[in-house]
Chain A
């Protein structure tokens, strides 16, 4: 038998205390998530019905109504972001990884990092100045533009990181076969990292689907549903913000349910990215 010395015993006690402390802290970190989820389900579940997805809001005082306008609006805004912000971000990421450490790449990388840290309300103001003012009105264009600016740096950096993981030797193998550089990239490198890039894109979409500030004075809101890209367009976060601060009970219920739906969508996007990461 090996006897435990006093020092060994002290070490064991310290170990137990440290592990205990880590467990408590870990638990504390996920508590808010647990409360948010349970509270949203508690308050929002009751308002969940087919009407919520299909009906537009009723005027103050009337019962019923839904958030069809905000849901369709959010889809429109996210589509615009996917159509403009995502490809620009991807091209930017590809440029960063191809130009490696050249002067241009270093400048671009700093610019992208700065853009990531610009508060989203400022991006909203910028979109207001360059789109809303000249177009003389709020529009889906302006909202999509603002969300695209939020997306570009996220997608750019994730694309760059993924491309960096491709070994240099794969590039060289392609070049050594006499394949032009652009084809090496488009036909040999990119197909291999498709799911990785898609993961970054989905995370970016999850992030912007909850953005409120850039939309407040760009896409603004409406209560009728989608009326074209040049008209004010509702979105879930803005609608939630408006209704949650209103005095109407029905509207506040809609806000709770809207929040539940939004969180659920973001949660699903995150799960999907997990799944993609595991697959690749």
Chain B
């Protein structure tokens, strides 16, 4: 467990919406913990025994050069990796249980239905992928409508709140019946975020959500992620180190399928412990 509560960390979060005093009395909860998580494509071992933990309602960034396994890693966390051909996973992923017991549950325990895992761990993809042929409203409502039983009145309310959370409501409130694909790329990505938020996930995984977007759309998504802090746990894969530095409070650096270093974002970018991390963040490779 890499739950680092160094003074720098307190200082860092103190700058955010949590004030330092609260932090000292509040016991930080762990939203997700991986234990020796490995993933393969056929014989290719792409994620190698990763163990890390993510705090509840925090923003956690994963950085590393292309092909370092960070996307595959994040796709193991909602059991999406196994949908690919020849894909295999080993290790454990523990998330906070729901219900009174509040104990932790292993999403890879045998007998766990991947569908129920995915209802609690949402995902936003690299390329905006609204459902073709569905309207903006139906896109946001799709998760609720097709995965749970929800009344129409509730549905309308949830669609509105989700679109507001995704900072898209004002732009689309008059054209909810228009196809989701009619929006611009940046709007489509916010639509996908609204769609993921509509099912009220405990954790939101974002796989390079801004790499297909222009700088202005990217800035809006980043703002959005910062606003989500405190409401939902966000894990974001990014190519862009500045982005990780701007929006996350914890950062993990991946290289060749291995976890090189994990810690408070501040420290990773200013005083990395590993020389490989330093070389990467100073742009000497990757």
| Partner-B contacts on A (CB < 8 A) | 100-101, 166-167, 169-180, 183-184, 187-188, 191-192, 194
Contacts and interface: CB of A to CB of B under 8 A. Distances in A.
Interface in B94-128: 115-120, 122-123, 125, 127
Given A177-B195, A178-B117, 6 more contacts: A166-B132, A173-B123, A173-B131, A176-B80, A177-B143, A194-B133
Interface of B: 78, 80, 83, 85, 115-120, 122-123, 125, 127, 129-134, 142-143, 146-147, 192, 195-196, 199
B80 A174 contact: no
A275 B50 CA distance: 54
B192 A177 contact: no
Contacts of B195: 173, 177
Contacts of B133: 191-192, 194
B146 A177 contact: yes
A101, A172, A177 pick with most chain B CB within 10 angstroms: A177
A96 to B, nearest CB: 15
A79 B133 CA distance: 29
B125 A169 contact: yes
- The 6 tightest CB contacts between A and B, nearest first, are A178-B119, A192-B133, A177-B143, A176-B123, A192-B132, A178-B118
A65 to B, nearest CB: 49
B132 A172 contact: no
A167 B134 CA distance: 15
Nearest to B132: A192
A24 to B, nearest CB: 43
A192 B146 contact: no
Contact of A177 (B85, B116, B132, B196): B196
A176 B81 CA distance: 11
Contact of A178 (B85, B116, B192): B116
B118 A177 contact: yes
Contacts of A175: 80, 83, 118
Contacts of A191: 133-134
Contacts of B146: 174, 177, 179, 183-184, 187-188
Given A175-B118, A177-B122, A167 B131 contact: no
B119 A177 contact: yes
Given A166-B132, A187-B146, A176 B127 contact: no
Contacts of B199: 177-178
13 contacts: A100-B85, A171-B83, A173-B129, A173-B131, A176-B80, A176-B118, A176-B125, A176-B196, A177-B122, A178-B115, A179-B115, A187-B146, A192-B133
Nearest to B120: A178
A11 B173 CA distance: 61
Nearest to A191: B133
A64 to B, nearest CB: 51
A170 B115 contact: no
A174 B118 CA distance: 10
A179 B115 CA distance: 6
Nearest to B179: A192
A182 B117 CA distance: 17
A179 B85 contact: no
A176 B78 contact: yes
A172 B119 contact: no
Contacts of A171: 83
A180 B119 CA distance: 10
B80 A179 contact: no
